[in-house]
């Protein structure tokens, strides 16, 4: 990494109109994105969305069909992985089975002109970094899943890469361990201050670890934003639906007698947050998060207030989940914090629900 | 799973023993009669009758050392070339998309009858004016052994995860270093297996050697000649010797493999 050109911009990885096709199948199309130095960015999307292919193009394991990959300001399209400023932690970890833990970690160092002693010193330090002191001599096959995970991390980090790529880094771990490692990865990122780019299909993982999340669907970048922005102001129906739970009401934009724009859906009219760019007659959707909806008498004060039938109430520990139905047969889910034990969960009654327009988001409806 | 009843178990064992006898009895019989001191084709009556007479006799056969030397040379060359080529086939197999076509082409020579392969090669060599020699035999044997050897190699390559090579490249290895540090150590068993196949198949091959040899005969041609010219029981001794060498080599390989297995269970 000695000859690296100091890039003045704060951009570490830049993707420009990136495309990847496998035969007739388009895995990634026109993806443009900048990853800032020191940032933790996660590609999130359903399986087959092209997120891993994108990461592999950054790492140098796939060649783009079109578009460019810039790493630290240099065009990297045709550079092999060993000539890039990136290191990858692979989904299946890819630890070398014929080498001990120490051998695995030192492998990358053997290309940096260090002697045996220096390599070992660095490897021991890396093991310390991932809390695996004393496992230097161990055979890879004798490690637990969590330990293997850490060895893979140490192996990538020991070479001090400016950019670390993580492909489903916690995919092989069980639930409990995964949660703990999410925190550890985040701390590691903070401590090292280098750029992390991860791929995951696990929403919670992405929300917990990342500074920004890039949502990918069917090879297209839907939105890049912080977890909060994605949740509170999704830019598309896919994002709204994919992140968390959303009530999605489909309809058309109308104007009432007072000249206020509203959404008409199956005979019901909804106040919408004022937004530019919507004309009368446009197809649109209204997104309301379940915890933003009031239920019962309090709901009458909201300007979007409707009577519903409560069909089911589920006790979910931290909250109660109501499945209600509007007069238009539209289902609305509501989450209410379960504070007291007195809350009744017997369903099938009529009540009122409501929310203020500022607690909802209106979006262009996508053709299905 | 249902319980295995006693009669079922007995018949299963009986069948297994029968099958094993079918496989090993003829060779064992040959080995036994090679120790009979008289010129009769029979098993020595008593243990004290066992004799190395015909084995000693082998040393007095003039043409035998040359034939052995020739066979070993051909075998080693075949082993070397075959394992190298099967390594190449393993390397390309990794990257190919239409793997089944490749595999089909690779193992097709297995189904060409030996006599046809031998005849066509000898006609072809004559056509392009290549004189019969040790090297033509080697070529014939490589062609013969390659499908078997490649299958052994491909098995070990199919256990090689592509991710390991990507990881090595990612950590800074050039293509060559990735081969040397990762691919070769993890497929070594298959490559040595291919060499062993090459050597043993070549050592025991007759028909191609018969058609493609120059004036120096191989061991199997020599044996064939001995049998035709009125069998001297020393032929059994020679057969016993070859059998022993083959079994020895296979045992060495087996021990080597279990050794590797023992030290890297992670292959599983």
- Is 50 exceeded by the pLDDT of residue A6? no
Closest CA to A245 of A335, A308, A307: A335
pLDDT in tens, B83-116: 999 999 999 888 888 888 888 888 888 899 999 9
Average pLDDT over residues A251-269: 89
Q: Are B235 and B223 in contact (CB under 8 A)?
A: yes
Q: Report the distance separating Cα A79 and Cα A77, nearest Å.
A: 6
Both structure tokens of B159? 């256990």
Of the partner residues B161, B173, B185, the one whose CB lies closest to the CB of residue A98: B185
Average pLDDT over residues A203-222: 93
Confidence band, pLDDT 50/70/90 cuts, at residue A354: very high
Residues 6+ apart with CB under 8 A from B243: B27, B30, B31
Long-range pairs for A317-324 at CB < 8 Å and ≥24 separation?
A319/A291, A320/A345, A321/A290, A322/A295, A324/A295, A324/A351, A324/A353
Q: Are B200 and B246 in contact (CB under 8 A)?
A: yes
Closest CA to A171 of A109, A250, A91: A91
- Residue B215 domain-assigned (yes or no): yes
Closest CA to B117 of B135, B134, B141: B141
Q: Report the distance separating Cα A224 and Cα A211, nearest Å.
A: 10
Q: Please state, in angstroms and as integers, the Cα–Cα distance from residue A142 to each residue in A108, A131, A154, B262, following that order.
A: 22, 17, 17, 13
Q: How many angstroms separate the CA of residue B201 from the nearest CA in chain A?
A: 31
Residues 6+ apart with CB under 8 A from A101: A127, A132, A135, A136, A137, A138, A139, A140, A143, A151
Both structure tokens of A197? 């780019």
Of the partner residues A61, A110, A112, the one whose CB lies closest to the CB of residue B166: A61
Task: Read off the DSSP letter of residue A208.
Answer: H
Task: State whether A97 and B264 contact (CB < 8 Å).
Answer: yes
Among chain B residues, the shortest Cα distance to A152 is held by B167
pLDDT in tens, A160-191: 999 999 999 888 778 888 888 898 899 999 99
| Residue of A97, A141, A142 best to disrupt the B interface, most CBs of B under 10 A | A97
Average pLDDT over residues A188-203: 93
pLDDT in tens, A268-290: 999 998 877 788 888 999 999 99
User: Is residue B242 helix, strand or coil?
Assistant: helix
Confidence band, pLDDT 50/70/90 cuts, at residue A343: low
Range of the domain at B214: 62-267
Report A:87-116 residues touching B (Cβ under 8 A).
87-88, 90-92, 94-98, 107-108, 110-112
- Is 70 exceeded by the pLDDT of residue B127? yes
Average pLDDT over residues A335-350: 77
Its sign, for the CA torsion A270, A273, A279, A284, is negative
pLDDT in tens, A103-162: 999 999 999 888 999 999 999 999 998 888 899 999 998 998 889 989 999 999 999 999
Burial (CB < 10 A; 0-12, 13-18, 19+), residue B12, is exposed
Scanning A60-174, the segments in alpha helix (DSSP H) are 101-107, 116-129, 145-157
Both structure tokens of A224? 């890049």
Among chain B residues, the shortest Cα distance to A164 is held by B170
Q: How many angstroms separate the CA of residue B155 from the nearest CA in chain A?
A: 17
- Residue B17 domain-assigned (yes or no): no
What are the strands of the beta sheet with A220-225, ordered from one edge?
Answer: A86-89, A163-167, A195-200, A40-44, A212-217, A220-225
Give the whole-number percent of chain B exceeding pLDDT 90.
Answer: 43
Which of A343-352, A358-367, B32-41, B62-71 is predicted most confidently? Answer: B62-71
- Residue B151 domain-assigned (yes or no): yes
The total number of structural domains in chain B stands at: 1
Q: How many angstroms separate the CA of residue B97 from the nearest CA in chain A?
A: 12
**H/E segment holding residue A185:** helix A175-192
- Residue B144 domain-assigned (yes or no): yes
- Residue B251 domain-assigned (yes or no): yes
pLDDT in tens, B136-178: 999 999 999 999 999 999 989 988 888 999 999 999 999 899 9
CATH of the domain at B89: 1.10.3720.10
Average pLDDT over residues A304-321: 91
Burial (CB < 10 A; 0-12, 13-18, 19+), residue B40, is exposed
Confidence at residue B45, expressed as pLDDT on a 0 to 100 scale: 80
Task: State whether A80 and B169 contact (CB < 8 Å).
Answer: yes
Confidence at residue B97, expressed as pLDDT on a 0 to 100 scale: 82
Confidence at residue B223, expressed as pLDDT on a 0 to 100 scale: 86
Confidence band, pLDDT 50/70/90 cuts, at residue A8: very low
pLDDT in tens, B34-85: 888 887 777 888 778 888 888 888 888 888 889 999 999 999 999 999 999 9
* Beta-carbon count within 10 A of B262 CB: 8
**H/E segment holding residue A353:** strand A349-355
Please give the domain boundaries of chain A with CATH numbers for all domains: 11-238 (3.40.50.300), 247-364 (2.40.50.140)
Q: Please state, in angstroms and as integers, the Cα–Cα distance from residue A182 to each residue in A44, A131, A132, A145, following that order.
A: 15, 15, 17, 15
Confidence band, pLDDT 50/70/90 cuts, at residue A240: very high
Confidence band, pLDDT 50/70/90 cuts, at residue A2: very low
Q: How many angstroms separate the CA of residue B264 from the nearest CA in chain A?
A: 6
User: Is residue A336 helix, strand or coil?
Assistant: strand
Average pLDDT over residues A234-257: 91
- Is 50 exceeded by the pLDDT of residue A7? no
Closest CA to A154 of A169, A174, A172: A169
- Residue B261 domain-assigned (yes or no): yes
Confidence at residue A4, expressed as pLDDT on a 0 to 100 scale: 43
- Residue B216 domain-assigned (yes or no): yes
- Is 90 exceeded by the pLDDT of residue B234? no
Q: Report the distance separating Cα A278 and Cα B41, nearest Å.
A: 104
Q: Report the distance separating Cα A153 and Cα B167, nearest Å.
A: 12
Query: Which residue carries 């999307």 as its tokens?
Result: A45
Give the whole-number percent of chain A exceeding pLDDT 90.
Answer: 67
Confidence at residue B261, expressed as pLDDT on a 0 to 100 scale: 66
Confidence at residue B267, expressed as pLDDT on a 0 to 100 scale: 42
- Residue B55 domain-assigned (yes or no): no
Looking at the complex, does the CB of residue A140 fall below 8 Å from at least one CB of chain B?
yes
* Beta-carbon count within 10 A of A84 CB: 23
């Amino acid at each position: 990494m000695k000859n690296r050109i100091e890039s003045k911009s704060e951009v570490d990885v830049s993707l420009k109109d990136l495309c990847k096709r496998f035969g007739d199948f388009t895995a990634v199309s026109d993806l443009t994105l900048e990853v800032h130095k020191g940032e933790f960015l996660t590609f999130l999307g359903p399986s087959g969305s092209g997120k891993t292919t994108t990461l592999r193009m950054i790492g140098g394991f796939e060649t783009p069909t079109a578009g460019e990959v810039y790493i630290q300001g240099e065009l990297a399209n045709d550079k092999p992985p060993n000539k890039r400023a990136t290191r990858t932690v692979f989904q299946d970890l890819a630890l070398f089975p014929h080498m001990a833990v120490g051998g695995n970690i030192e492998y990358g160092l053997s290309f940096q002109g260090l002697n045996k002693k220096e390599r070992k010193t660095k490897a021991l330090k890396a093991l310390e970094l991932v809390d695996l002191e004393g496992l230097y001599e161990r055979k890879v096959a004798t490690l637990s899943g969590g330990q293997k995970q850490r060895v893979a991390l140490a192996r990538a980090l020991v070479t001090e890469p400016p950019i670390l790529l993580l492909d489903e880094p916690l995919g092989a771990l069980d639930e409990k361990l995964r949660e703990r490692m999410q925190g550890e990865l985040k701390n590691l990122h903070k401590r090292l201050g280098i750029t992390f780019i991860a791929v995951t299909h696990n929403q919670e993982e992405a929300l917990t670890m990342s500074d920004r999340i890039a949502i990918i669907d069917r090879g297209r970048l839907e939105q890049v934003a912080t977890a909060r922005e994605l949740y509170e102001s999704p830019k598309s129906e896919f994002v709204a639906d994919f992140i968390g739970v959303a009530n999605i009401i489909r309809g058309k934009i109308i104007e009432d007698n007072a000249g206020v724009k509203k959404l008409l859906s199956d005979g019901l009219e909804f106040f919408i947050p004022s937004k530019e760019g919507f004309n009368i007659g446009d197809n649109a959707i209204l997104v309301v998060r379940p915890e933003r909806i009031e239920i019962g008498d309090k709901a009458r004060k909201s300007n979007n207030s409707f009577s519903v039938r409560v069909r089911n109430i589920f006790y979910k520990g931290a909250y109660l989940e109501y499945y209600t139905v509007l007069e238009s047969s539209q289902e609305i889910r509501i989450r209410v914090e379960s504070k007291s034990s007195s809350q009744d969960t017997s369903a099938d009654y009529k009540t009122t629900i409501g929310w203020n327009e500022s607690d909802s988001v209106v979006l262009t409806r996508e053709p299905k | 799973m249902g319980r295995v009843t006693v009669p079922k178990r007995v018949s299963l064992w009986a069948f297994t023993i029968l099958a094993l006898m079918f496989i090993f009895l003829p060779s064992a019989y040959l080995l036994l009669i090679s120790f009979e001191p008289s010129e009769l084709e029979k098993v020595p009556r008593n243990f004290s009758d066992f004799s190395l007479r015909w084995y000693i006799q082998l040393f007095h056969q003039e043409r035998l050392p040359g034939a052995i030397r020739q066979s070993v040379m051909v075998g080693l060359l075949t082993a070397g070339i075959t394992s190298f080529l099967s390594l190449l086939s393993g390397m390309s197999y990794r990257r190919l998309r239409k793997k089944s076509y490749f595999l089909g082409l690779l193992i097709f020579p297995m189904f060409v009858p030996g006599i046809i392969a031998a005849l066509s090669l000898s006609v072809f060599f004559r056509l392009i004016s290549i004189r019969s020699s040790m090297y033509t035999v080697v070529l014939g044997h490589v062609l013969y052994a390659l499908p078997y050897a490649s299958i052994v190699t491909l098995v070990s390559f199919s256990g090689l995860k592509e991710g390991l090579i990507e990881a090595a490249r990612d950590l800074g290895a050039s293509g060559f270093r990735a081969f040397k540090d990762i691919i070769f150590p993890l497929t070594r068993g298959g490559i040595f297996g291919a060499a062993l196949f090459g050597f043993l198949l070549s050592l025991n091959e007759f028909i191609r050697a018969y058609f493609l040899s120059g004036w120096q005969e191989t061991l199997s041609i020599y044996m064939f000649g001995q049998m035709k010219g009125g069998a001297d029981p020393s032929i059994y001794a020679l057969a016993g010797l070859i059998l022993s060498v083959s079994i020895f080599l296979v045992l060495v390989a087996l021990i080597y493999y279990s050794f590797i297995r023992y030290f890297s269970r992670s292959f599983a």
